Amino acid sequence: MNTVCKTDNFEIRLYKPSLIHPFYDNMEHMSVFKRIRFLIEYFYGYSVYYLWNGFDYIGFCTVSSGKNKRYWFADKNDIIFGPYFIKKEYRGRGYSTLLIYQVLYCAGINYNNAYDYINANNIPSIRVTERLGGKKIFNVSINILTRKMKKTSNGQYGIYRISKEERKLNEKSKCDCSYI
């Protein structure tokens, strides 16, 4: 793993997945569907960014290419961030916001728009994405077997976008990290 940026107390570390090891540290249980999803993502390209506090991995965020046809709303110059995960003992302290901010604005990823799809019941994740400039653009339903997304008025997931313009506004503010 490579450290891609540092703050005073934290590092963002980049892990490049392999077919056998989709994650460096399995912090959460992975269902069969999730394993298949990351197997497919592997061929389109994804990375895993870990938040490290000097002695423990606090959480992770995956970043996928917009090239995957599953993400029909994105293009090859866009990224999909998420899922992201914070260990239970670290939740409620703002680490999700710190992790996503560092990944999107400080880790040196080149992209136009960043998308996230979030379950409508996941209020903490919605707040994190909105706090970082994400705007809900529409809802989707996801077929449980094929994992295909379909735009619907009352879908169980919201698609959020951090636009190129919003990104430029946030990049003008000082990034609280240093590039390695």
Instruction: Supply the pTM of this predicted model.
Output: 0.88
CA 94/CA 110 separation, integer angstroms: 25
Average pLDDT, integer, range 127-145:
91
Identify the pLDDT of residue 81: 96
Instruction: Answer whether residue 178 shows pLDDT above 90.
Output: no
- In this structure, which amino acid lies at residue 105? Y
- In this structure, which amino acid lies at residue 36? I
Domain ranges for the chain, please list them. 2-179
CA 148/CA 140 separation, integer angstroms: 9
Q: What is the CB-side half-sphere exposure of residue 18 using CA atoms within 13 A? A: 5
Q: What is the CATH number of domain 2-179?
A: 3.40.630.30
CA 63/CA 49 separation, integer angstroms: 8
Average pLDDT, integer, range 43-55:
92
Which of the listed ranges 12-26, 86-100, 162-176 does the model predict with the highest average pLDDT?
Answer: 86-100
Average pLDDT, integer, range 79-89:
94
CA 61/CA 172 separation, integer angstroms: 23
Q: Return the number of other C-beta atoms located less than 10 Å from residue 88's C-beta.
A: 9
The fraction of the chain above a pLDDT of 70, given in percent, is: 91
Identify the pLDDT of residue 175: 57
Which residue in 174, 166, 78, 93 sits closest to 130, CA to CA? 166
Grade residue 79 by pLDDT with cuts at 50, 70 and 90: very high
